[in-house]
Amino acid sequence: MINKVSKIYVAGHRGMVGSAIVNHLKSLGYENIVTRRSGELDLRNQLEVEYFFSQEKPKVVIDAAARVGGILANRDYPYQFLIDNLKIQNNLIEFSLLNDCEKFIFLGSSCIYPKFSPQPIKEDYLLTSELEATNEAYALAKIAGVKACEYVRKQFGKDYSSLMPTNLYGPRDNFDLETSHVLPAMITKFYEAKQQGNQPVILWGTGSPMREFLHVDDLAAAVTFALENELPDNLYNVGTGVDITIKELALMIQQIVGHSGDIIWDDSKPDGTPRKLLDVSKMKTLGWEAKTSLKEGIIETYEWYLENSYNLKKVKIS
């Protein structure tokens, strides 16, 4: 049984997702949380990970470690996105199994599903048709992780589960324009344009694709739900079940930031997947659902950005 003193290793604890999970666990009284910085433990290095598990032997592993980025980063560095993520998750899954870890929670992304998947996307739609080309490398790595956990569950009877969140945002997000996702990138663009006299903001694509957004604290709550319950299946979608167009998102962020200039849509740039709305009925049936409204979440994220914007200009978040 997992309890408040069980040793829990959170991989990727310094990122947006990992830090939210650690904070949420601590708020609930979990007191034996193990973390390592990348300088202390390179998760891509098999020997380092093997030694870490032989020494620490955690009862629970939460895999929030990954190489992540937006369309631009995925387009320019597909090999690194594939190989680095495969190395990280393979090492964590393998040595969790070999060291008799009781529970493993693998975090992926809704990009694992086909580009033209029926909407809303059910877990059963995995591997039914081709992926979105702009993030195929990352998606392939995450699909491999989902399947590895599924096979461990089937072959060894272990409580390994995979949570696939929709587009995430929140405090400690990546606001660097070269590597960030759409929502934090918009916050940066509108803020900087406002500071420059409400200059026009140029955004990629047509604004017509529809996206679903989940606050990172809601994902942390879903992870805790998976920790405290034995999920009957391997794969679960985690989202709000509500989506909006990218254009609607831009107008919402523009209003929150207070930018009054024009928005210019550069339709020579890719839109990506036309729509990506998750069917979250499996998690809802078990008793979990998201609580943070998109507007409230963006306001909180923007407030964090303002408090940390000086440091963000000096240090790229990764």
Q: Tell me: is residue 18 an annotated ligand-binding position.
A: yes
Q: Tell me: is residue 109 an annotated ligand-binding position.
A: yes
301 token code pair:
């994220």
Q: Tell me: is residue 208 an annotated ligand-binding position.
A: no
Q: Tell me: is residue 91 an annotated ligand-binding position.
A: no
Q: What is the Rg, in whole angstroms, of the alpha carbon atoms belonging to the chain?
A: 19
How far is 82 from 97, CA to CA, in rounded Å? 22
Catalytic residue among 30, 138, 160, 191: 138
Q: Tell me: is residue 166 an annotated ligand-binding position.
A: yes
Q: Tell me: is residue 240 an annotated ligand-binding position.
A: no
Q: Tell me: is residue 215 an annotated ligand-binding position.
A: no
Q: Tell me: is residue 181 an annotated ligand-binding position.
A: yes
CA quadruple 43, 44, 48, 52: dihedral sign: positive
Question: Is there a catalytic annotation at residue 138?
Answer: yes
Q: Tell me: is residue 318 an annotated ligand-binding position.
A: no
How far is 112 from 134, CA to CA, in rounded Å? 12
88 token code pair:
């990280």
The label of the residue with tokens 């996105």 reads 81
Q: Tell me: is residue 167 an annotated ligand-binding position.
A: yes
Q: Tell me: is residue 265 an annotated ligand-binding position.
A: no
Q: Tell me: is residue 170 an annotated ligand-binding position.
A: no
- With CA atoms as reference, report the closest residue to 169 among 300, 317, 5: 300
Specify burial of residue 161 (Cβ count, 10 A radius: 0-12, 13-18, 19+): buried
Q: Tell me: is residue 205 an annotated ligand-binding position.
A: no
H or E, element range at 302: helix 294-314
Helix, coil or strand: residue 25: helix
Cβ-Cβ contacts under 8 Å for 281 (sequence gap 6 or more)? none
DSSP-derived secondary structure for 202-231: EEES-S--EE-EEEHHHHHHHHHHHHHS--
Q: Tell me: is residue 211 an annotated ligand-binding position.
A: yes
Q: Residues annotated in the binding site, as ranges?
A: 12-18, 107-110, 142, 165-168, 181, 189, 204, 211, 271
Residue numbers belonging to the annotated binding site for substrate? 189, 204, 211, 271
- Binding positions for NADP(+): 12-18, 107-110, 142, 165-168, 181
Catalytic residue annotation:
138
